[in-house]
Amino acid sequence: MNLFGKPRGKKYHTRVAEVTTYEYDVRRLAIEGRLTDRRFQDSHLATGEKRAPGILHQMIIRLLVDRETLAIEDLQVEMPGVPRDECREALESLEPVKGRRIARGFTSQAKALSGGGRGCNHLTALLAVMGSAAIQGYAAAREDGEPVPIADLIAILVNGCWTWREEGPLISQLRELSPPHEKRELTAPHGKREFTLPRGENIHQRERKMGMDEKERTVMETMKKEGKPMRPGDIAKKAALDKTEVTKIIDKLKKEGKVIVPKRCFYAPTE
């Protein structure tokens, strides 16, 4: 194949980034990203050391995200291939993304993590790629068994590119096709569009999928993760469960001695 009308010349470098979304459990997805830089000739580091052809950078990031909100619950970082041992000192540089949602603006947030020498440019580049790929993985997971509601499609697609610009014909067409019970306000604060999911529908969808034991574990995990007493409504919001169901679960756990009441209307795990 030609490049700009001329046969390809000698190959010097290849970067490959691959992102895969996996089912993890009923409420979470696992997203794995891999970035590999390979050089095809002898090279030298900035300080003069000679390197043979081969892998220069190999980065792996794994994210555990809520499959309804795309909030990042946990992450793992590996750096199997680096030019210098000092590079691995940046393994913890992505910790600030825990708790953040993969939504509009996530790429900018990711890029800010390495600015001013605070992190690794290659990890940041991979994380930025994973943000947009996670939306595709989320959409694929949502379509596994049932269609994605039109309101969700609008929230995901709007202003993501020229084709799906807010005032374009395709977004207008989707809005016209959206049934009345799915229509919702998609405008975030300050007039900016944000990737927002239909909480009510997702809660009921989750309720159908989760058994009581799984709901109880989710409530307990949510309280333990918060690390402080919580109201039932806050637990329901964090766990993406129905508040009435959460209240019943807390009453049951309280009778079993698994939950204490440190102050009125606040609950915490016994241990």
State the Cα–Cα distance between residues 23 and 28, nearest whole angstrom: 7
Helical H runs in 119-158?
Answer: 121-142, 150-157
pLDDT at 191: 36
pLDDT at 41: 94
- For residue 59 the two structure tokens come to 């980065």
| Residue 173 vs residues 53, 107, 168, 193: alpha-carbon distances, Å | 52, 28, 9, 18
pTM as predicted = 0.64
- The segments of the chain whose pLDDT lies below 50 read 184-209
- Give the residue extent of every domain in the chain: 11-141, 150-197, 210-269
pLDDT at 212: 60
> Bridge partners of 2?
7
User: pLDDT tens across 112-148, in order?
Assistant: 877 677 889 999 999 999 998 998 998 888 877 666 7
Collapsing DSSP to helix, strand or coil, 141 comes out as: helix
**Domain 210-269's class?**
mainly alpha
